[in-house]
Structure 1
Amino acid sequence: MGARNTNANVRQPDVKPDAAGPDAAPDDPGSRTLRRGLQVLEAVLARPDGLRVVALCAATGLERAPVYRLLATLMEAGHVARRGRFLYVPGPRWAALQPAGGPPNMAVHLQPVLARISQGCGDAAFAIVREGAASHCIARHVGTHPVQILVIQVGTRQPLGVGAAGLALLAALPDVEVEAVIAANAAQLPRYGGMTPERLRILVRATRERGWSVVGNHATRNVLAVGMAVRDARGEPVAGISVASTLDRMPRQRQQLIAASCQAALRALLPADL
């Protein structure tokens, strides 16, 4: 399988992934440092209970030395704070921005779900939420298989439906909202593997019939992902989760096993009163 590891989003151990998506920032040193700093900050904000440096490295794909440097800057500015000797948590600048009685922190609720799924199948798992016509990656968990397909990073935004998690969430929406999302993204869709509005409608119908989503060769070439919608206590779709791997690791039978694993993890670990 080693000869296939040429995709920019395929990360082997100790290899840092490039920025994903067609709107990636210019690769000059300043932009690269800012992008990495935002990755670290978003990973910390996604886990207000605290993250160790090793977990931050796994979440961002960065090595320890740059993570420590970025944390020092973020702590100096008050965006990150240290709890005890090893944990890093959101800093005082963010405390005033958290509304009392606000909506649930989906990243916190879904991180254990992603961990169980990823540990079970060995591949990377992702969670997204909807922001208008876009999906926003709020959490991911890197698996144990030697080749990890890191199709998106925490903080990545892309048209809702071009990735498996976003497609599962899109398919769970009412028809009128589905059409509004597709119309809003129509001009951007071809940039994702030649996706078209009609192709996306076909994928939505297939997802509804199957109960979970499958997307291959759209957001990232030679990659296939399986996704599932996350629903709250009222049955409303509030997020999407997915697992991504290379095409040859995703035959039909394994897709079904991963979908079943996603469903089981959600039932076991998602709070009943979400």
Structure 2
Amino acid sequence: MASLSGKSTRPSKSPAAAPANPPDLPDDGGSRTLRRGLQVLDAVLQSGREGLRVVDLCRAVGLERATVYRLLATLLEGGYVAPRGRFRYAAGPRLALLAQPAPPPDFAARLQPVLARVSKACGDAAFAIVREGPLSHCIARQVGTHPVQILVIQVGTRQPLGVGAAGLALLAALPEEDAARVVAANTPALGRYGGMTPERMDILVRATRERGWSVIGNHATEGVLAVGMAVPGRDGAPAAGISVASTMERMPLARQKLIVRSMREALAALLPEGL
């Protein structure tokens, strides 16, 4: 296009247009700190369930102890890292939660008839939970007909996966590596549930796998014993957990087995292809 002066002019570029290859960003303090924090997080994740000591982290990332402690404090606050024992650090609950997809919204409606049938058979309250990362989330509850109802949790309650019977059954049904990561992520909170420890949780998980159903007492609620079962999804993978809770006196072994049988029958009748 020609101008009035006779010189050619070119159309100007739009200010919104971005270059195909943006220039490198300056290595300022913020980006440097972020990069170092990600290096620490990567080292922790690669250490697996046992975690790493601070001295090992310093060697792995090539940073001073004071710098590693500052970065760990931020990662701990955000839940990306959690203490493992007194001196080690492992993956935290935020990572497990991010990796776990949300359950379909109809799970509660599909499990409610199962709970109603089980509760009617035994007279006690029945519960359904799903997994949210390292936590269990109660999505349904059915009150029974017995005069004394043990309503240990409410719909919406979240607690470490495994401290209740339904959560323990679901935890035990997970692949071993996934279950180990859940226990590691929950380690800082376990002691608040009747003095639960990772070692005790491991024993309960192994016993549940051998037995085929879970039983746990005096942890989430003192004086209460509950039994639970995992509920498979349509792909065969564990999708939820159900449980019945009552007083210790109402839950001798023979009655535990009767309740478990009613759970199996209800699942077979109402969810024959899985959840």
TM range (shorter): 0.5 to 0.7
Residue 114 of structure 1, CA deviation? 0.0
Structure 1 residue 159 corresponds to structure 2 residue 168:
no
CA distance in 2, matches of 1:131, 1:273: 19
Return closer, same or farther for 1:164/1:132 CA change in 2, 3 Å cut-off: same
Deviations 1:189-221 (A, max 9, x none): 000000000000000000000000000000000
What is the root-mean-square deviation in Å for CA atoms of aligned residues? 1.2
Paired residues, what number?
A: 173
CA distance in 2, matches of 1:273, 1:197: 30
Structure 1 residue 189 corresponds to structure 2 residue 200:
no
Residue 235 of structure 1, CA deviation? 1.1
Residue 245 of structure 1, CA deviation? 0.1
The answer for the alignment partner of 1:86 in structure 2 is: none
Aligned to 2:188, the other structure's residue is in SS state coil
Is the 1:186–1:197 contact (alpha carbons within 8 Å) kept by the matching residues of 2?
yes
Return closer, same or farther for 1:182/1:143 CA change in 2, 3 Å cut-off: same
Q: Which has the higher contact order (CA 8 A, sep 6+)?
A: 1
- AA of the residue aligned to 2:155: V
Q: Which structure 1 residue ranges, 4+ long, deviate > 6 Å from structure 2?
A: none
Deviations 1:100-135 (A, max 9, x none): xx9361101100000000000000000000000000
CA distance in 1, matches of 2:190, 2:274: 36
Residue 233 of structure 1, CA deviation? 2.0
Q: Mapping of 1:54-133 within 5 angstroms?
A: 103=104, 105-133=106-134
Is the 1:223–1:247 contact (alpha carbons within 8 Å) kept by the matching residues of 2?
yes
The answer for the alignment partner of 2:253 in structure 1 is: 252
Is the 1:109–1:271 contact (alpha carbons within 8 Å) kept by the matching residues of 2?
no
Q: Identity over the aligned pairs, expressed in percent?
A: 73
Structure 1 residue 171 corresponds to structure 2 residue 182:
no
Residue 224 of structure 1, CA deviation? 0.1
5+ unaligned residues in a row in structure 1: which ranges? 1-101
CA distance in 1, matches of 2:274, 2:113: 16
Residue 240 of structure 1, CA deviation? 0.2
Report the structure number with the largest CA radius of gyration.
2
The TM-score, its normalising length taken from structure 1, stands at 0.62
Is the 1:129–1:239 contact (alpha carbons within 8 Å) kept by the matching residues of 2?
yes
CA distance in 2, matches of 1:154, 1:205: 28
- AA of the residue aligned to 2:206: R
CA distance in 2, matches of 1:272, 1:132: 25
Aligned to 1:130, the other structure's residue is in SS state strand
Residue 271 of structure 1, CA deviation? 5.4
- AA of the residue aligned to 1:228: M
